[in-house]
Structure 1
């Protein structure tokens, strides 16, 4: 029978208290933004709203979704998230599988070159000039191609691929399977947790990304929802302009909103999708990272 000492109990109690504080500090900003987004605009400007709306209204969200610009921004973000995540996982997995094979000629040299890029970065201006020469500026592919490969994600996948018994691959080769067939029908089904973890990493990145669109595109048609949100949040005049445009379509809602509550509603609208999806993928995220790191 395991008898816990008083010191162990105090240690557990302190851990629980610390974690509760961390959780509270993490949730508080989201909760305050959520409460403010459901509060009447002018009433919110008076202050003193922390735990629940003082004057409940849906006008902020009605105003946000009354402007069709946000729908196109969501379309750009969803498109880049789906395409970018799929290509990132596929390309990184292919490279990781090749790097995990001991028979690959020049494998160590390739690995040194890849690791070098993790510590030394060319910089923004060389990247801009490179994308310009490749014709990627103001093109949707500038949001996809530069993110197709990650050395860190490749290392995680490679460490898992190395843990797969060599006898399984050799038996497949004896049966006449080629490298691509082995990779698609044998390796990938065994690495679903790692693939799901990498997909979650990439998906969250693409959903939250806006700096690449800000620096390498000037077309409104390529504006993702996070860049749209950044303009509204950082520039009060943009928020007022957005509210006036929506109010002209929905004049009955104009008295219920303010630039601040519009910003909060926009923040919640752009954050909600990833918050809803993440809990369903969290188990794959934890399992995939642990397997990929421990088995290496």
Structure 2
């Protein structure tokens, strides 16, 4: 069937608009990438570069040689690798429990969960709670508040309710107890939403910033995002290394401009999530859609 002239113009205009939107997102990232790998001398002569004219790893050598980013990387890895499985385990098990209509107090708990979507307790009560739990200025102050949220619980509950009840009945007839049914029947059928929410939680923990500002005073415990914010706002390179180390790294070399080092730091901070994302991307839409439209 031939496409009409008006339809072709419409498709072309939509395609052009989408390309422009994509360019507004891609060009800044390409600029950051290019600057981070550009030779310092080339950068001084031309500060707007979309592809390195002369490649250099001096900025990355400087970034990765400093103690600050190493301790921040350790903090972010601990928070993400410990917090993500905890969050997925707590959220999925609690959501499965809420999916059972025979659960005593189920309606009250669901109302309280929905209430948290509408009203926030505020910063001061949250800070006082963290202080009373004696986890202030520890990584647990970042991990524990994020182990679950209302939206995740409601979506996963909806997914569990969409599973056929006959599966659990058959498992019980085969001699499975509730825990065996959950781990051997329910969870294997929930790979798509679990993978999607694993990525949601991992990105959330990796990008944590606001809670770190509130609860962490020890510089050695700062995660990468808080460290990166300090780097971007700093006019010197002393956050990466002490003066002696800086002098040793730049000996017989052209000094690396702070702007180039900042771009390299941005790439280092974002690279881990960019590497993990493609492996879980296929579960993204499927997992969220299944839990959202059924139940």
- How many Å apart are 1:244 and its aligned residue? 5.9
- How many Å apart are 1:277 and its aligned residue? 1.5
CA distance in 2, matches of 1:253, 1:63: 14
1:20-59 equivalent positions in 2, closer than 5 A: 20-41=19-40, 43-59=42-58
Say which is worse superposed, 224-233 or 3-12, in terms of deviation: 3-12
Q: Given the alignment of the two structures, is residue 119 of structure 1 paired with residue 118 of structure 2, yes or no?
A: yes
**Cα RMSD for the two superposed structures:** 1.8
CA 109–124 in structure 1, closer or farther in 2 if over 3 Å, else same: same
Q: Given the alignment of the two structures, is residue 167 of structure 1 paired with residue 166 of structure 2, yes or no?
A: yes
CA distance in 2, matches of 1:139, 1:14: 52
CA distance in 2, matches of 1:120, 1:254: 56
Contact 2:67–2:240 under 8 Å retained in 1:
no
CA distance in 2, matches of 1:243, 1:90: 39
CA distance in 1, matches of 2:248, 2:4: 67
1:1-296 equivalent positions in 2, closer than 5 A: 2-41=1-40, 43-237=42-236, 239=237, 242=240, 245=243, 246-252=245-251, 255-296=254-295
Residue segments in structure 2 that go unaligned for 5+ positions in a row: none
- How many Å apart are 1:112 and its aligned residue? 0.8
List structure 1 segments (4+ residues) > 6 angstroms apart after TM superposition. Answer: none
Contact 1:96–1:154 under 8 Å retained in 2:
yes
Contact 1:137–1:216 under 8 Å retained in 2:
yes
Q: What is the SS of the residue equivalent to 2:65?
A: coil
Contact 1:66–1:249 under 8 Å retained in 2:
no
CA distance in 1, matches of 2:203, 2:117: 20
Contact 1:247–1:253 under 8 Å retained in 2:
no
Contact 2:212–2:223 under 8 Å retained in 1:
yes
- How many Å apart are 1:78 and its aligned residue? 1.1
CA distance in 2, matches of 1:180, 1:196: 21
CA distance in 1, matches of 2:58, 2:276: 26
CA distance in 1, matches of 2:40, 2:257: 4
Q: What is the SS of the residue equivalent to 2:135?
A: coil
If the length of structure 2 is used for normalisation, what is the TM-score? 0.93
- How many Å apart are 1:46 and its aligned residue? 4.3
Residue segments in structure 1 that go unaligned for 5+ positions in a row: none
Q: What is the SS of the residue equivalent to 1:50?
A: coil
Figure out how many residues of one structure are paired with residues of the other and give that number. 294
- How many Å apart are 1:130 and its aligned residue? 1.0
